[in-house]
């Protein structure tokens, strides 16, 4: 593999661990706290997870254990979309296993969860691990989106674990992947199998979090990467002074990325899906808000600006959310008939004929391009793929029409020229920031401790993350603690509840306090590229969101 000078330098970076994880593994003890319950739907979740429900939160403290030296064969899986730092989770897990017992073996199942089904793997060794330390991407063993959820799949997993003498599986993934980890852990327990399943919280969207999972890994790096690009666009906008830039950002189910990037870069407009839903706003309401800001800036001679749009915004608009739910259910229910239709026009006409009157009105109000995008192939859960819906283009068109009306009424005399952007894949495989390099390595290292203590059905947890790494805490939480019941493919299923932007939380309040000033005045911030070498206050800082959530001030 050809490597850059930066990659060579990153190989040499030694990630920082919480103080408790820096000593001998035999000197670390698992301290159990109070029993837990699921986020909601306790009776249903308890019934589905009879063997793993209600387990306590665990923290690691100084003490002793006699099981850490036991020989272990562990399998690791990367599941779902890429996020910066995944390689370091594997490196931390590998280093901890080898420190506990040099005879321990780490199997990397290739291509995601399908790797364990197909028994496709590599045995990880020093040469492989050292080639990927502190690097972006998931290319060490690749990822995939196969769901581990059927009895047949679980039986194959069991057979392949027996074949290799595997004692534990670590699943590195987001909410869906870790939901599957919980289901697999429950299956093993119910079958009397002594195979531990541990998860690590990954998603750049930032929606896998609670008090014990303060942030999911990759969020920090992705936001810094997007913020650099947004800052570049702001500088360009401030130079040319003739374009409005509409930037759609990753974040299907929550607006964490958009909010973090707004606090980092201070654009003129940032839409927050959770606020749109809370205020029951329509596309017309959003359009009018953007048009008012455009007109107010134009009145001061500023015919330019930057507007951030979360990827999942369209699903937060209540009327459109109802429409999408109807379409999802119809496509699932009428799949055979729908799939026989060959043209986009025939599919639009077919769905339109089945919609309720309210949803039909909303559907007909959308441009034909957006109508078509709402009918594209569903994700594995039967939901619309919002990443394929060009919401920023929709808003550009609706704002353009509204401004024309305002101009005809003498309410606006400026110029509106718009550019659209979508930042998605650009942030998924960047070199992890020092924060993510440290955090991910700690998550993997910590996962080894959970395995050594036989803590199956747990998610690796590192907390106190706004402090330096030596003050971080280590432990684990039962995955069932984060779960509720939701409708997927027309059926109620147990899933990890997504964490949305809290409108009463410190990050949103900071944004809310400043957004009017940022809208009318040009307060752009230019974060620049991620810094890996230099003063700790430059290279070691975490997200503004996390700092605000933990009561820290930001500049």
Q: Which residues are catalytic?
A: 205
Q: Are 505 and 259 in contact (CB under 8 A)?
A: no
Two structure tokens written together for 537: 């206050």
Q: Cβ contacts of residue 487 below 8 Å, gap of 6+?
A: 493
> Which region holds residue 54: left if phi is over 0, alpha if psi is between -120 and 50, else beta?
left
Residue-by-residue DSSP string for 235-290? HHHHHH---EEEEEES-SS--HHHHHHHHHH--SEE--HHHHHHTT--HHHHHHHH
Place of tokens 């009561």: 551
Two structure tokens written together for 485: 């019941």
Interatomic CA distance for residues 392 and 54, integer angstroms: 43
DSSP code of 144? B
Helix (H, G, I), strand (E, B) or coil at 25: helix
Q: Are 160 and 186 in contact (CB under 8 A)?
A: no
3-state SS, one letter per residue, for 514-532: HHHHHHHCCCCCCCCCCCC
Q: Which is nearest to 220 in space by CA: 525, 489, 544, 551? A: 544
Beta-carbon count within 10 A of 313 CB:
29
Two structure tokens written together for 105: 């073996």
Two structure tokens written together for 374: 């709402």
Q: Which helix (H) or strand (E) holds 121?
A: strand 121-123
Two structure tokens written together for 306: 């930057």
Question: Taking each helix axis from N to C terminus, what angle separates 344-354 and 318-333, rounded to the nearest 10 degrees?
Answer: 100
Interatomic CA distance for residues 75 and 97, integer angstroms: 12
Q: What is the CA radius of gyration of the chain?
A: 24
Interatomic CA distance for residues 348 and 2, integer angstroms: 48
């Amino acid at each position: 593999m050809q490597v850059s000078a930066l990659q060579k330098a990153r190989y040499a970076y030694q990630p920082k661990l919480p103080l408790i994880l820096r000593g001998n593994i035999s000197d670390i003890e698992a301290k159990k706290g109070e029993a837990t319950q699921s986020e909601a739907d306790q009776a249903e979740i308890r019934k589905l997870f009879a063997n793993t429900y209600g387990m306590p939160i665990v923290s690691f403290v100084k003490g002793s254990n006699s099981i850490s030296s036991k020989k272990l064969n562990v399998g690791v899986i990367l599941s779902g979309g890429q996020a910066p730092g995944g390689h370091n989770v594997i490196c931390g897990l590998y280093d901890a296993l080898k420190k506990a017992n040099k005879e321990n073996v780490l199997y990397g199942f290739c291509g995601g969860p399908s790797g364990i089904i197909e028994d496709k793997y590599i045995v990880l060794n020093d040469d492989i691990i050292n080639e990927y330390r502190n690097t972006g991407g998931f290319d060490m063993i690749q990822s995939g989106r196969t769901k581990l959820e059927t009895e047949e799949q679980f039986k194959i997993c069991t057979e392949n674990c027996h074949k290799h003498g595997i004692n534990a599986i670590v699943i590195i993934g987001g909410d869906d992947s870790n939901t599957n980890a919980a289901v697999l852990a429950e299956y093993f327990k119910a079958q009397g199998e002594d195979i531990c399943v541990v998860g690590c919280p990954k998603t750049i969207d930032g929606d896998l979090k609670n008090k014990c999972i303060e942030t999911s890994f990759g969020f920090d790096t992705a936001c810094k990467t997007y913020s650099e690009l947004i800052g570049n666009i702001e500088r360009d906008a401030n130079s040319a002074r003739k374009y409005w830039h509409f930037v759609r950002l990753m974040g299907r189910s929550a607006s964490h990325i958009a909010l973090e990037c707004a606090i980092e870069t201070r654009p003129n407009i940032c839409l927050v899906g959770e606020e749109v839903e809370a205020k029951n706003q329509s596309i017309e309401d959003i359009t009018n808000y953007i048009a008012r800001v455009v007109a107010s800036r134009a009145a001061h001679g500023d015919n330019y600006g930057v507007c951030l749009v979360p990827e999942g915004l369209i699903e937060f608009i209540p009327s459109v959310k109802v429409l999408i739910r109807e379409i999802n259910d119809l496509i699932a229910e009428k799949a055979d008939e729908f799939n026989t239709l060959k043209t986009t026009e025939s599919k639009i006409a077919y769905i339109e004929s089945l919609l309720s009157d309210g949803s039909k009105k909303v559907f007909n109000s959308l441009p034909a391009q957006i109508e078509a995008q709402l009918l594209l192939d569903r994700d594995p859960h039967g939901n619309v793929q919002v990443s394929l819906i060009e919401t920023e283009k929709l808003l550009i068109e609706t704002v353009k029409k509204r401004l024309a009306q305002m101009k005809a009424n003498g309410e606006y005399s400026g110029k509106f020229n718009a550019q659209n952007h979508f930042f998605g894949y650009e942030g998924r495989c960047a070199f992890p920031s020092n924060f993510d390099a440290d955090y991910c390595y700690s998550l993997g290292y910590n996962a080894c401790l959970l395995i050594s203590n036989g803590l199956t059905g747990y998610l690796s947890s590192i907390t106190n993350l706004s402090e330096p790494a030596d003050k971080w805490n280590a432990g684990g939480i039962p995955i069932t603690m984060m779960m509720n019941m939701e409708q997927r493919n027309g059926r109620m299923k147990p899933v990890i509840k997504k964490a949305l932007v809290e409108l009463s939380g410190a990050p949103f309040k900071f944004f809310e306090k400043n957004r009017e000033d940022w809208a009318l005045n040009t307060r752009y911030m230019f974060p620049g590229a991620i810094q890996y070498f230099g003063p700790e206050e430059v290279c070691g800082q975490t997200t503004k969101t996390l700092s605000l959530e933990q009561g820290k001030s930001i500049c």
